[in-house]
Structure formats: C-alpha cells, structure tokens
Amino acid sequence: MNRKAHPPHAAWILLEPGADIPPPESWALFLDVDGTLIEIADAPDAVHVDDRIGGLLERLRGRLGGALALASGRSLDVLDRFFSPLELPAAGLHGLERRSADGSVSRTDGAPALGPARCELARFAAAHPGTLLEDKSATLALHYRRAAGAESAAREVMEKIRTSLGAAYRVQEGKMVLELKPHRPNKHTVVEDFMEEAPFRGRVPVFIGDDITDEEGFAAAQSAGGAGIVVGLEHAGDRMSNARHGVSGVRELHRWLEALCDGLRGHGR
C-alpha cells in the first residue's frame, strides 16, 4: 500500500477528465456505497437509496465497457437489494465476497472463528444502550453513532477481541463504527483482483469513497496510475488521505457521475 498521505481537504481538488490520468474512456471505476453513493443513516437499515442511482450506474457501466464495480462493507445480497434489478460486479464485506463481471461469486469465510466474539459483542451492545451490533456473519460491526459516549469502551472491547483472535484479524475503523474482520482481503486487494480480469484489465483504476475503509482503495488505484476521489470534504476534518481529489458530498458526486456519463456518450460498447 502507498503510505504517502496527502494533506487534508484544503488541498483536494475535483478530478477533471484528463487532469492527471488518461481520459475517462480508459477508466475502471470502483465505487464505495454508504457515504459515497448513498447518505449515511443513523442505523444500517435506515438508509435511503435514490431510485435513479441504479440507472446511472447501469449507463456508466455500459459506457465503460463493463468496467465498473462496487466495493462496500455491505454484503452482496444487500447491495443487490439496494440497486435491484441491477447486479453489478461487486466486492462485499470489504472483499470477503466478490462477484466478477462474468457473474461468478467467490467468498472468504471469516465466520467460524467469530463465535465467541459475537457473544461478547452482543453482551456489550446490551449493556451500552444506543450501540448496535451488525452481524454480517463473516464480519462483526459495532456501531456507536447513537452512543458517542461509548466509543472508548467500544474500542477497548474490540481491541481485546482482536488480540484474542490473533494476527489474521483486524479492527477496521469507519464513521462511528468498528468492524472486526479478517486482515485480508481488503479494498486494496479488491482493486488488484478486479484489475487482473476482463473487462478491467488494461484500464486505469479510479476509486471513489468517503471513509477510512476506502483509503486502501485510493492507494491501490493511485499506485496503478489511476486516482482516488474522496467524498464529503466538509466532514473529513484533519484526516490525512491517500486521495488527491474530492467532492463535497453525495449529491455533488451524483452530479459529477452524471457529467462523466454524458462525457462518455459514444464510448460505451
């Protein structure tokens, strides 16, 4: 992973087609979902998905010759429900599930080792009102958006569990959420894996995301000659980022993607 971080949002600029990478018709586009394509909600099941987004993604995929994929902490089943009837190439659970462009699905099962952790985190959530355990089977996410005062205790219990599981597991930080998951795969390996197969192979990766979980995706894209675009500059604070480009929020990204789609008219296969 490229460890060089770029300054916080004051230095980020919107990526203009042809700015510092090859033109858009050569891109492979990777998109995070929560906080990127859809606004974050207080609870994972409370999000609203704009009906128009599925159509936009379908058009973009066609104009990029199929080289568009989702990269999310959500499961493939949830992603498919969000954008039904569209089923895109996608990496779910940070890469533990992956559907290639040909429709084949591969899964890395992180669930068997998480039994004791699941019980301990359920007890923690019961004892700390406002926290929420999101059980994704292969990963466990502890949300504290509704209980900001529980952050320190949540970090403590997650680190205790991670230590007991050993080096194969990590705690992935997000926006007011801590997720226990296998160390690999991650969004860096997701980009690498997609770029080894058609129709992504030979293209230039552009990764768009909003959170710490997306930093590995930014780094992977940029180390391959592409770009990272961070969404939500006004919420980024002083965070250092691997991304060199950014947009102010989800709505601005939608407008940028629409403009990108219009600019690609005639290039799709």
Tell if the pTM clears 0.85, that is, is over it.
no
Nearest to 45 by CA among 109, 118, 128, 135: 135
Reduced to 3 states (helix: H, G, I; strand: E, B; else coil), residue 244 is: coil
Task: Quick: pLDDT tens for 191-220.
Answer: 999 999 999 999 999 999 998 889 999 999
Just list the catalytic residues: 32
Provide the residue range defining the domain that includes 228: 9-107+187-263
CATH number of the domain to which 88 belongs: 3.40.50.1000
- Which phi and psi angles does 99 have, rounded to 5°? -110, 120
Mean pLDDT of the chain: 86
pLDDT at 26 over 60: yes
Last residue of a domain, one of 167, 182, 197: 182
Average pLDDT value for residue range 213-229: 93
2: in domain: no
Locus of tokens 């080792």? 113
Task: Return d(Cα 38, Cα 50) in angstroms, integer.
Answer: 8
Based on the domain organization, do 117 and 19 belong to the same domain? no
Distances (CA, A) of 197 to 36, 57, 101, 161, 187: 25, 20, 8, 36, 16
